[in-house]
A = this chain, B = another copy of it.
Amino acid sequence: MPPARRSRTASANPASERTELPALHLTRFLPYRLSVLSNTVSHTLAKLYEKRFGITIPEWRIIAVLGGGETMSAGEIAQRTAMDKVQVSRAISRMLDSALILRESGDTDRRKALLTLTPKALAIYAEIVPMALTYEEEVTDALSIDERAQLDTLLSKLQARADQLAARPAPAGAQAEAAGE
């Protein structure tokens, strides 16, 4: 792991003459850049959803995974949307209120509730998907075809690595833990 970093931005700050600290510029820091980009994109899109259909991002995600007409449990939805079960539970409860979703107790396992979109939600799905894809295309229009392929690769690799790092126990202190996972 070559810490090539270390752009000597000792710069012109007369106050601190610390020992060549590797300076960190937020605007070049990957987590920051991802956060800002993701926020910009999500926020823009969320306003579209909200204005037009009065739904939130969690609700939109649920509509997205159930939009094919499939039926699944809350747990499955949580997995597929990468939301946690609390978030899913709350979104579902809102959607029940606004008649976007239908819940019926499973017969074989009464813990699992089977969830299906109502026609109302399917109508939203039919309208929202083109909107979402259009927005996505508007964003990726900034890239060449090659670059889009690159983006796909990069995001996959980064996500895989980030997952890996997130899964490791507690790298902080002096915890000698087998990196089993």
Is B2 touching A64 in the complex (CB atoms < 8 A)? no
Q: Is the interface of A mostly helix, strand, loop or mixed?
A: helix
Interface membership of chain A positions 126-146, coded 1 if the CB is closer than 8 angstroms to chain B and 0 otherwise:
100110111111111111010
Known A137-B1, A149-B3, A159-B40: A68·B9 in contact at CB below 8 Å? yes
Contacts of A51 in B (CB 8 A): 170, 172
Asked if A23 and B152 sit within 8 Å, CB to CB, the answer is: no
| CB < 8 Å neighbour of A31 from B33, B41, B158 | B41
Q: Which residues 47-69 in A have Cβ within 8 Å of B in the complex?
A: 48, 51-52, 61, 64-65, 67-69
Contacts of A45 in B (CB 8 A): 31
Contact of A35 (CB < 8 Å), options: B31, B42, B139, B160: B42
